[in-house]
Amino acid sequence: MTACTEHTVKPGDCLWNIAKQHLIESGIDKPSDKQIADETNRLAVLNKLDENGRNRDLIYPGEKINFS
């Protein structure tokens, strides 16, 4: 199975769950909290969710989260 390269945020999504689902789709059956936290941080940096004073916890429906 090939993992997606992008996720479109839907109402109710949070970065933690997006990161967890991406790890599962990438072949990690039961990712640990540390793995999910590391992936959440990686995605926040990759998608520049911390820039210009932005709160990485605030993602919006329709926003694209890139995985690579």
Return the half-sphere exposure (C-beta side, CA atoms, 13 A cut-off) of residue 41. 5
Asked if residue 41 has pLDDT above 50, the reply is yes
- pLDDT, residue 22, reads 96
- pLDDT, residue 4, reads 77
Asked if residue 66 has pLDDT above 80, the reply is yes
Asked if residue 1 has pLDDT above 60, the reply is no
The residues spanned by each domain of the chain are: 6-66
pLDDT digits (tens, 9 = 90+) for 5-40: 999 999 999 999 999 999 999 999 999 999 999 999
Query: Alpha-carbon distance 3 to 47, whole Å?
Result: 17
What is the model's pTM? 0.89
